[in-house]
Structure 1
Amino acid sequence: MTLSLDPRDHALLNDWQRDLPLEPRPFARIGAATGMSESEVLSRLQRLNAAGAISRVGGTFRPNTAGASTLAAVAAPDWRIDEVAEAIGRLEGVNHSYLREHAYNLWFVATGPDRAHVDATLARVRSETGLGVLDLPLVRPFNVDLGFSLDAQKAAPAPRRVADGFVLEAGDAEILQALSEGLAIEPAPFAELAARLGRDEDAVIARIAALSAAGVLSRLGVIVRHRALGWRSNAMVVWQVPEADIPRAGPALAATPGVTLCYQRRTVEGVWPYSLYCMIHARSRAEAIATLERAAVAAGLEQTPHEVLFSLRCFKQTGALIARGSAASHSRGDAA
């Protein structure tokens, strides 16, 4: 079922996916900018959250700047899909898990405070399922913003500069973990966060601003759920692009309207030759294929070997695990 949005709901979800005001009462500022009271903004966001239209008001992060992550996949027999998905989904740090159309059919993202945690997660998947695991670490991001327009398809935001991980300070991981799980939807969310961490509100806001300016925090705002809002035909497209051509093709793919993510990942010799990835979110399979055709032309990839992996089910979608001992909270699934 697709949720119906009135114009004010639409404005909140479309216009505030990034740039949440970094001040003590951010929802009052949003209200002033959209012609609503603070209480109306809060009640609408609380209702949309309860209905599954949003997963959280919080942050997304530049991969492998605070913590570590990888994209992974297994080839589960059809009769074991639910069993294997459940085993993968219960592991701490697995924050996305999807069924896709491919022999490698269960795809998941493993996150953690460091690469050792990610490696341990993959080892547990192998041990508990008896299946081989494709480990596809990120090489180069072209767009990992994770936001998209609810209006007519538009190009992704311009890529941010390379993140400066050296800005990280003691205590930042706990702030980032809280943003990954989501801010409280209440009048003073940063005060609530500061109290929970035993820190000063102004200091917490200042650290969030610094992490955003440095590119570690790639987006702070409303994190929407695509399927609940009508984007139900979503595909991961993987391309077999020569290394020398990736710096040209990647940005061109990322700039195509309808392409919502784009990055280079490591190949696996003899098993997985695909190096360039993009996600397409669409309202129908025909719309997704049309976007793919435009993207291929824009990036000069019309003759490049590729595969299209449509998402069939989502088993898990949460924020990333960044701080050890604080797992991201569970939330409703939404296909990528």
Structure 2
Amino acid sequence: MRAGHADVGLSERLLNNWQRGFPLSNRPFALVGQAEGATENEVINLFADGMQRSAISRIGGVWAPGVGGAALLCAMAVPPERLKAVAALVSAHPGVNHNYEREHVLNLWFVITGTGAEPVEQALATIESEAALPVTRLKMVRPYRIDLGFDLHRPAVGGSAIRQRPPRVEAADHDLAALVEAGLPLVAEPFATWADQLGVPTANVLGRIQAWLDAGTLRRFGLVVRHHEVGFASNAMTVFNIDDAQVDALGERLATQPGVTLCYRRERAPGWPYNLYCMVHGRSRDQTLALLHAAIAAAGLSEQPRQVLFSRRRFKQTGARYFRPLPEAPHVR
């Protein structure tokens, strides 16, 4: 059965309820169906429909920062008449997983990931050469909150700050990690499919994923939804210039505020004095601003220098590639 009018309630429940806590079992879609009053096939078909309409990016794991590979937030000041062309050039690199226009002179912001720092830097050098523009590199120093799960019904609630760095993925587990970040196949026994590919028992696959979750190496395992498609069409990145002696305490406080989905400290860059970042997503610009202003006030940041950069256009949004090698990037002119 494909998703139609009669399935709207079930489809929405699936989107909302299984972004974390996805069953680690031989037949996970059957267990989801039991919880939601649906058959295994209905669940699989509705997840497939969600992927087809881009509400679901994948069903898989979200890694904690720094547990494998490399990632870098980057920004470019692109002349407006060149923005579309340069954005296409940036998006063409398979390591780029997020690429947005934002309201600032630094108007193109993207995240690039890879299996290590060297391939990431090589890709950035290529982008600079092809675009004939410099790329500002903004290296993460410490994450305080990483949670891009979206509750479709409840108001924004606060969370907890990340205080310890979780263990990295061991080299022996990189093949499984690559599957976890690529996403589950939509078959009745998806973990058995992974086990067959790796030549190990299914119990080993399930046990390793659970161990990563227990250690915090995986932040969550479940549906990764695309926030625009599920109704969170507005997002603002706010950057603060905080004294280095205070930034960790203030970052931890900001990370716990309702509506803050991402919060981290980054290195400053030439001409860019900001070292504390947070993201707030909302269904409208007004809702996003209300959440942001409340979070800033509650965290004691009202008097701190800051800028708010709303996104204007999304050029690319896809999963990170920490463990999967990158295919050859096409040349875009």
Task: Give the alignment's TM-score, normalised by structure 2.
Answer: 0.91
Residues 148 and 156, structure 1, Cα contact 8 Å, conserved in 2: no
| Aligned sequence identity (%) | 43
Please name the residue that 2:126 is paired with.
124
Q: Which residue number corresponds to residue 289 of structure 1? A: 289
Find out whether 1:140 has 2:142 as its counterpart: yes
Is it true that 1:45 corresponds to 2:47 in the alignment?
yes
Q: Point out where structure 1 has 5 or more consecutive residues left out of the alignment.
A: 329-336
Deviation at 1:155, TM superposition (A): 2.2
1:222 and 2:210 are equivalent in the alignment: no
State how far apart, in whole Å, the 1-side matches of 2:317 and 2:185 are.
18
Give the counterpart letter for 2:34 in structure 1.
A
CA pair 265-160 structure 1, distance change in 2 beyond 3 A: closer
Residue equivalent to 1:277: 277
Other-structure match for 1:332: none
Name the residue aligned to 1:323. 323
2:331 alignment partner in structure 1? none
* Equivalent residue letter for 2:301: L
Which residue number corresponds to residue 176 of structure 1?
A: 177
Amino acid at match of 2:237: M
1:76 and 2:84 equivalent?
no
Preserved CA contact (<8 Å) 1:321 1:327: no
- The superposition leaves residues 73-106 of structure 1 with CA deviations (integer Å, 9 ceiling, x where unpaired) of 1111111111111111111311111111111111
Contact 1:161 1:215 (C-alpha < 8 Å) held by counterparts? no
Q: How far apart, in 2, do the equivalents of 1:27 and 1:307 lie?
A: 44
CA–CA distance in structure 2, aligned partners of residues 240 and 320 of structure 1? 28
- Displacement of 1:20 in angstroms is 1.3
Residue 64 of structure 2 contacts residue 166 of structure 2 at CA under 8 Å; is this kept in 1? Answer: no
Query: Which runs of 5 or more structure 2 residues have no equivalent in the other structure?
Result: 329-333
Displacement of 1:14 after TM fit? 1.4
- Matches of 1:199 and 1:29, distance apart in 2: 23
Q: How does 1:250-269 map to 2 (within 5 A)?
A: 250-269=251-270
Cα distance 1:254–1:148, how it changes in 2: closer, same or farther (>3 A)?
A: farther
Residue type of the alignment partner of 1:7? G
Change (3 A) 1:289 1:303: same
In 1, distance between residues paired with 2:165 and 2:26?
26
Q: Deviations over 1:199-226 (max 9, x none)?
A: 3322222221222222111111011111
2:194 matches 1:209: no
The amino acid that maps onto 1:234 is N
Alpha carbons of 1:17 and 1:180: their partners in 2 closer, same or farther (altered >3 Å)? same
SS in structure 1 at match of 2:157: coil
SS at structure 1 position matched to 2:171: coil
Offset at 1:326? 5.0
Question: How far 1:250 moved relative to its partner?
Answer: 1.5
Q: Is this contact kept in 2: 1:181–1:318, CA < 8 A?
A: no
What is the rounded CA distance, in whole Å, between the counterparts of 1:95 and 1:183 in structure 2?
19
When the two structures are aligned, how many residues end up with a matched partner? 324
TM-score by length of 1: 0.90
Note if contact 2:144-2:163 (Cα within 8 Å) is conserved in structure 1: no
1:132-155: CA deviations, max 9, x gaps?
111111111111122121123222
Sort the Cα spacing of 1:193 and 1:159 in 2 relative to 1 into closer, same or farther, 3 A.
Answer: farther
Q: CA 1:324/1:182 → structure 2, altered by over 3 Å: closer, same or farther?
A: closer
Inter-partner Cα distance in structure 2 for 1:216 and 1:27: 24
How far does the alpha carbon of each residue in 1:279-325 deviate from its partner, in whole angstroms, 9 at most, with x for none? 11111111111111101111111111111111111111121112353
